[in-house]
Structures are given as C-alpha cells and as structure tokens.
C-alpha cells in the first residue's frame, strides 16, 4: 500500500498576528494579563492557527516570521514599505510573545534576519514541494506565485475558519498564466501597501494582459514596438523601476532551511500544554484548544 504523503501546514505568523490584533483593538479589547500586558494579537494568532490545524489536518507544521522591519528589499529600494505606519503601542510587546507562545505549544518557528516571512515560506515550499502536500495560510496574495501541483495557498477571509484557497487548477483558470509569472504581473502594477510603484498608469488588468501575451517583464520589453503608443511610452519611461519592482515582487525561494521534516512534526496537545497556557495567562487559547480537541 502506498504511504500517505506528509501534509505541511505553513503559517504566515506576522499576517495572522496583525489580523488578530486589529480584529479586537478598535473595540479596545486587549485581553491584558494581570501586569497590564496586552495579549489580544497573540491569543487571536494562536487560536487562528489551532483552527487552521483543525481544518487542514496536517501531519507537519511551521510558523514563519519577519525578523525586524529591515530586509534585503530595503537595501534594493529605500521606499520599500516606507509608507507603513508604526504598529500601535499595544502591539509592540506581542511580537516576541507570539513567537514565544508558538514555541510553548511546540510549533516549529522560522525567522531569518534580512528576509521576510514570505521568503521563508517560499524556501520551505521549494525544499519540500516534491515530498509533501503543503497548505500555506496567509492574507498575502503575493504568495500565489508559490502555487504548484502540491501547494495550495489558503488566503484568509472571515474570522478563524473561512479561507479562499488557490490550488494550481484554480490559479491557472483565473489568471491564465503560471504562478511564477505572478511576480511579473506585480512588477507592472506595483504594490501600494509595499510602497513600490511598478509602472505608473498600468493597472492590474493591463499588467495581467501584458504577461498573458508576452510571458514576462523581459518579454514585454523585447516587444515594446508592438504595444500601443501610450503603453509603450509609460513603460519606456519606467524601465528601471519596472525591473526593480520585479526584484521586490519576487519571493526569494533560496533561503537555506536548516531543518529536517521530522522537526516540523505536529505536536500533540497535552494537559501540560494546557497548564502552560494558563501559567502565561493565555486563557482564551486554552479554552479554544479544549473546544477543538475535546
């Protein structure tokens, strides 16, 4: 009988932490510990991961983190993410707390200075894409460039349990390009949240049509003479920024992942884990786990 392939659940830790923080912060619900430290983001993050685990039923799991705000993309372009506002004061202690709670529960964590969580997710996918089914949970559409026959990107929708999943069939049908070409589309349209402009005046629809027709940024540049004069002018005026935007949009899948797959084995949820949650005043996580694993 053929052995079942492992199924790795990869979590974009930062995406879920921010999402969880902003789900309750507007109502000033910070669920403070006795010493006043807010825990809303941390507890929401862990509850979201537990729910994802319950839905996906993986055999292995890892959480990927940004390590500080400066990455190789800032070295390429000063304006990268420069328009982002600083996180609110109540969020600041929760970055380290989220990684700590992840370790307390027994989830494998990855974070490398100078790389984003996306790059770690991409490198883990690259390392094990032929050996495992992989499900990535994030709110970041950039990760669609990692879709492959064994990898599904589950984009967050509402609450803890609704996802918008993209497998290879759905991606190809919807976009009419290969996932790897998604970075080329992003290079033309830019990304306002990441702060790089792409080519001014070229929106998502035109960007996609250009890549469907010419295959890549280089393909479009080689065929400039065929384009409408307006498009040709916009692109000619922004060639350097277009090529830089491609570097910024492309996920780095070559970060060394110094781990064996066994290190990602899903931990068992035990009474000891439950006690740890209570010791650290993470009552919401403990209750959520009890509901899921009862």
**pTM for the predicted model, two decimal places:** 0.95
Please say if the pLDDT value at position 3 is more than 70: no
Decide if pLDDT at 222 tops 70: yes
What percentage of the chain exceeds 90 in pLDDT? 86
Q: pLDDT for 61-115, tens place per residue? A: 999 999 887 888 988 988 878 778 889 999 999 999 999 999 999 999 999 999 9
Q: What is the mean pLDDT of residues 112-119?
A: 95
Of the chain, the percentage scoring pLDDT greater than 70 comes to 99
Q: Which domains does the chain have, with CATH numbers?
A: 7-175+252-293 (3.40.50.1010), 179-249 (1.10.150.20)
The answer to whether 211 and 185 have CB atoms below 8 angstroms apart is yes
d(CA 132, CA 151): 9
User: What is the average pLDDT score of the chain?
Assistant: 94
Is pLDDT above 60 for 156? yes
The residue ranking higher by pLDDT, 224 or 1, is 224
Residue 64's nearest CA partner among 105, 24, 22, 17 is 17
pLDDT at 126 over 50: yes
- Locus of tokens 């199924």: 7
> In this predicted structure, what is the pLDDT of residue 1?
43
In sequence order, what E strands does the chain have? 7-12, 60-64, 108-110, 133-138, 151-156, 163-166
Local structure of residue 253 (DSSP, 8 states): -
Q: What is the pLDDT of residue 255?
A: 97
């Amino acid at each position: 009988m053929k052995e079942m392939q492992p199924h790795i659940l990869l979590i974009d830790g930062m995406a879920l932490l921010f999402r969880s923080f902003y789900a309750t912060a507007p109502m000033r619900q910070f669920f403070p510990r006795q010493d006043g430290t807010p825990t809303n983001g941390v507890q929401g993050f862990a509850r979201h991961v537990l729910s994802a685990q319950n839905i996906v039923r993986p055999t292995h799991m890892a959480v990927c983190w940004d390590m500080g705000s400066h990455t190789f993309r800032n070295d390429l372009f000063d304006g990268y993410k420069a328009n982002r506002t600083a996180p609110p004061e109540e969020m600041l202690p929760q970055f380290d707390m989220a990684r700590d709670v992840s370790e307390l529960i027994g989830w494998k964590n990855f974070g490398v200075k100078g790389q984003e969580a996306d790059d770690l997710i991409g490198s883990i996918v690259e390392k094990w894409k032929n050996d495992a089914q992989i499900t990535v949970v994030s709110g970041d559409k950039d990760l669609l460039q990692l879709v492959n026959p064994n990898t599904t990107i589950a984009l967050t929708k509402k609450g803890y349990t609704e996802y918008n999943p993209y497998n290879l069939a759905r991606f190809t049908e919807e976009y009419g390009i290969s996932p790897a070409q998604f970075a080329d589309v992003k290079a033309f349209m830019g990304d306002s949240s990441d702060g790089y402009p792409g080519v001014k005046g070229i929106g998502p629809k035109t960007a996609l049509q250009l890549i469907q027709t010419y295959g890549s940024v280089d393909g479009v540049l080689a065929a400039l003479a065929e384009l409408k004069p307006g498009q040709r002018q916009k692109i000619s005026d922004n060639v350097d920024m277009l090529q830089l935007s491609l570097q910024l949009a492309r996920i780095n899948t070559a970060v060394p992942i110094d781990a064996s797959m066994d290190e990602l084995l899903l931990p068992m949820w035990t009474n000891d884990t439950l006690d740890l949650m209570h010791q650290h005043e993470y009552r919401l996580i403990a209750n959520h786990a009890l509901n899921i694993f009862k």
